[in-house]
Structure 1
Amino acid sequence: MDIDELARRSGVSAATVSRALNGRPEVSAATRARIVALAAELGYSPNASARTLASRRSGLIGLLWDTDYRSGGRQHPFLQEVLIGLKAALSDRGQGLILLPIVPPDDEAGYVRLARQYTLDGIVMMGVDQHTPQVRALLATPVPCVGLDLALDGPRTASVGSDNRSAAATAVAHLHARGHRRIATITGPLDLWPAAERLAGYRAELARRRLRRRPEYEVAGDFFAASGTAGMRRLLDLPTPPTAVFVAGDAMAIAAMRAAADTGRTVPDDVAVVGFDDIDAAAMVHPGLTTIAQDYRRFGTTAARVLAELAAAPSTEPPRSVLLPTRLVVRESSGTDDST
Structure 2
Amino acid sequence: MVTIKDIAKKAGVSITTVSRALNNYYDVSPSTKKKIFDIADEMGYVPNRSAQNLVKKTNNTLAIILSGLEKEGGKDNIIYRLLSGMYSYAESVNYEVVLYTTSSAHQRDKTYVQFCKEHNIGGAVLNGIKIDDPYFEELIESDFPCVLIDILAQGKNVSSISINNYKASIEATQHLIKNNHKNIAMINGRRQADVSSERYKGYAKALRNNDIPIKEEYIIYADYLEDKAYKETIRLLTEHPEITALFCASDMMALGAMKAVNKLQLRISEDISIIGFDNIPLSEYMTPPLTTVDQDFYVMGEKAGEQLLKMIKKQDYEKNMILKHKLLERKSVGML
| TM bucket normalised to smaller | 0.7 to 0.9
- Alignment CA distance shift 1:221-1:140 (3 Å): same
Give 1:226 shift.
Answer: 2.5
Q: Does 1:322 align with 2:321?
A: yes
2:168–2:202 contact (8 Å) kept in structure 1:
yes
Q: How many residues align?
A: 293
* In structure 2, C-alpha distance between the alignment counterparts of 1:96 and 1:146, rounded to whole Å: 17
Match of residue 333 from structure 1: 332
- Alignment CA distance shift 1:323-1:229 (3 Å): same
* In structure 2, C-alpha distance between the alignment counterparts of 1:125 and 1:223, rounded to whole Å: 18
Q: Does 1:163 align with 2:164?
A: yes
Give 1:194 shift.
Answer: 1.4
- Alignment CA distance shift 1:101-1:193 (3 Å): closer
* In structure 1, C-alpha distance between the alignment counterparts of 2:139 and 2:291, rounded to whole Å: 40
Q: Does 1:112 align with 2:113?
A: yes
Match of residue 59 from structure 1: 60
2:77–2:281 contact (8 Å) kept in structure 1:
no
2:82–2:298 contact (8 Å) kept in structure 1:
yes
* In structure 1, C-alpha distance between the alignment counterparts of 2:108 and 2:219, rounded to whole Å: 37
- Alignment CA distance shift 1:206-1:312 (3 Å): farther
Match of residue 80 from structure 1: 80
Give 1:153 shift.
Answer: 5.5
* In structure 1, C-alpha distance between the alignment counterparts of 2:69 and 2:302, rounded to whole Å: 25
Quick one: which amino acid aligns to residue 291 of structure 1? T
Give 1:144 shift.
Answer: 0.6
- Alignment CA distance shift 1:331-1:123 (3 Å): same
1:146–1:152 contact (8 Å) kept in structure 2:
no
Q: Does 1:280 align with 2:281?
A: yes
Give 1:134 shift.
Answer: 5.8
Quick one: which amino acid aligns to residue 305 of structure 2? A
* In structure 1, C-alpha distance between the alignment counterparts of 2:240 and 2:83, rounded to whole Å: 46
- Cα deviation, 1:258-306, whole Å, max 9, x if unaligned, reads 2222223211111111111222222222112111121000111111222
**In angstroms, what is the RMSD of aligned CA positions?**
3.4
Query: What does residue range 98-177 of structure 1 map to in structure 2 within 5 Å?
Result: 98-100=98-100, 102=102, 104-105=106-107, 107-109=109-111, 111-116=112-117, 119-129=120-130, 131-133=132-134, 137=138, 140-152=141-153, 154-177=155-178
- Structure 2: runs of 5 or more not aligned: 1-20, 31-48
- Alignment CA distance shift 1:51-1:277 (3 Å): closer
Q: Does 1:90 align with 2:71?
A: no
Match of residue 307 from structure 1: 308
* In structure 1, C-alpha distance between the alignment counterparts of 2:250 and 2:52, rounded to whole Å: 48
TM-score by length of 1: 0.74
Secondary structure of residue in 1 paired with 2:159: strand
Quick one: which amino acid aligns to residue 108 of structure 1? K
2:291–2:328 contact (8 Å) kept in structure 1:
yes
* In structure 2, C-alpha distance between the alignment counterparts of 1:108 and 1:4, rounded to whole Å: 40
Give 1:195 shift.
Answer: 1.2
Match of residue 189 from structure 1: 190
Give 1:136 shift.
Answer: 5.0
* In structure 2, C-alpha distance between the alignment counterparts of 1:249 and 1:51, rounded to whole Å: 40
TM-score by length of 2: 0.74
Match of residue 259 from structure 1: 260
* In structure 2, C-alpha distance between the alignment counterparts of 1:322 and 1:112, rounded to whole Å: 24
Quick one: which amino acid aligns to residue 143 of structure 1? F
Quick one: which amino acid aligns to residue 61 of structure 2? L
Give 1:113 shift.
Answer: 3.8
Match of residue 225 from structure 1: 226
- Cα deviation, 1:209-235, whole Å, max 9, x if unaligned, reads 232222222222211123322332333
* In structure 1, C-alpha distance between the alignment counterparts of 2:72 and 2:261, rounded to whole Å: 29
